[in-house]
Amino acid sequence: MNVPTQLAARDEYETDAGLPPAGSRVWISGFSRHEHEEAARLLGLHGLKPTAFANGADAMLVPGPPSAEGLAEAERTGRRLLVPDDLRTTVHASQRRTAVEVSADTVRILDVTLPRRPAGGSRVPPAEQFAHLCLDPLFLKAARSVAIAAAAGLPCALEGETAVAKSTAVLWVASLCRQGAVRLNLNGQSDAGELVGRFVPNGQAAEPGDHHPPAAWRFWEGIVPDAMRHGHWVVLDEINLAEPQVLERLNPVLESPPSLVLAENRGERFGPDGDVPVADSFRIFATMNPAEYAGRSVLTEGCCDANQKPRSHDTSRIAWAKLMARVGEEFPLECPACGGDIRLIAFITEPGPIRKILTHLGEPLEPPPVSPARGPPTDWGELVQVHDDRDVFQASPDELPAVDIHSL
């Protein structure tokens, strides 16, 4: 494996002896995308959990000699400061591990470790289903993405060609973790009732002597609220075959923490401070083929990962970022230095900061004046412009020829 130069370079900075205990979360800061992957691999060899967020991190990994700001941050937060050489000097061939490791209470897939539930759970995919599974690099990469989303409590969508085991990767990880999972195949005729629930005929017969017969209809709870209630994983196959307005119903479920209001029934609220708490083990996954496939819809920005390039849901199906790229000749959500994705952190809406930014950039503070629209003609003899750019003269009513409608 070719190690990036910045990671391979040795430095004279000395860190504290030893490494954090196994299972500690290490914040990876200052690396490019390719270097980030190598750093995460090194951390995994030591049983450390890589994270891209400072909150909750026990240590911080930087690419080289840390800056004064980095040292001050480490001292202020009490985090241990690490460099890549600290991880390499203690890695030996005898410490190499298999790609997948399953124990009584944990499952490790590459460098991601998940808890394993007790045996006997409901809706757990059977292990026999994966007896002939081939753990090739492409499949392990998809399974690792699933494991990362499951560990972080994030929704996850896998996009790829047909028959590359996208759904199988989710169900396989669920089977290893003894985690219940439900799967729904979406199509162009799918509606929101399949996801959140609908009223169905009540097949319950009246009991003898019952003065209050059962209602003719009952509410059937869809797979999403049922999974939120019982802590199952939801796998939505072919998500971009469904209509965008159907998927919009799940937008609150994709938030952190997830929530849902069953307005279709009695208005039950799932989520924080709601009527029904969401189980900690609830996760939602989706699989889809590329949008270029026939019949596939382009997902709205509410369904897309904020770290990915946004996709438009208008009729033209051209992302606004691509339209901006046609003018500026650079993709606005791609880092010009490393080519990685730029994540939208905040939208500035306060007038004061906006004016300071525009002043610093030398841009005008006021929008350009808008010319007033031309009003309708007020005189029958006025020269008007028609849609084909020819000047015509509009005659007055008195000058129009008389026509006998009976002669037509």
Residue by residue, pLDDT tens for the chain (408 residues) are: 333 333 333 333 333 446 888 888 898 888 887 788 888 888 888 888 888 888 888 888 888 777 788 788 777 888 888 888 878 765 444 455 788 999 999 999 988 999 999 987 789 999 999 999 999 989 999 999 999 999 999 999 999 888 899 999 999 999 999 999 999 999 989 999 999 999 988 877 666 666 677 778 889 999 999 999 999 999 999 998 998 888 889 999 999 899 999 998 889 999 998 999 999 999 999 999 887 777 676 666 556 544 444 343 333 334 555 555 555 555 556 676 666 666 666 667 788 888 888 888 888 888 878 777 766 665 555 444 444 444 444 555 555 555 555 554
Cβ atoms within 10 Å, residue 219: 16
What confidence score (pLDDT) does residue 340 get? 67
Q: DSSP assignment of 358-390, as one string?
A: HHHHT--SSPPP-PPPPPPP-STTSEEE-TTS-
Q: Which of 228, 344, 247 is nearest to 286 (CA)?
A: 247
Structure tokens that stand for 298 in this block = 């382009």
Structure tokens that stand for 392 in this block = 């015509």
Q: Which of 256, 222, 219 is nearest to 236 (CA)?
A: 222
What confidence score (pLDDT) does residue 384 get? 46
46 backbone φψ class: left, alpha, beta (φ>0; ψ -120 to 50)? alpha
Domains of the chain: 5-95 (3.40.50.10190), 100-206+214-297 (3.40.50.300)
Q: Which of 308, 337, 310 is nearest to 31 (CA)?
A: 337
Instruction: Give the Cα separation of 290 and 37 in Å (integer).
Output: 25
Instruction: Give the Cα separation of 155 and 256 in Å (integer).
Output: 9
Half-sphere exposure of 301 (CA within 13 A, CB side): 11
Q: What are phi and psi of 337, to 5 degrees?
A: -85, -50
What confidence score (pLDDT) does residue 93 get? 44
What confidence score (pLDDT) does residue 109 get? 93
Structure tokens that stand for 300 in this block = 């709205």
What confidence score (pLDDT) does residue 300 get? 61
Residue 212 near residue 264 (C-beta atoms within 8 A): no
- Return the H-helix or E-strand segment holding 174: helix 166-176
What confidence score (pLDDT) does residue 7 get? 34
What confidence score (pLDDT) does residue 63 get? 85
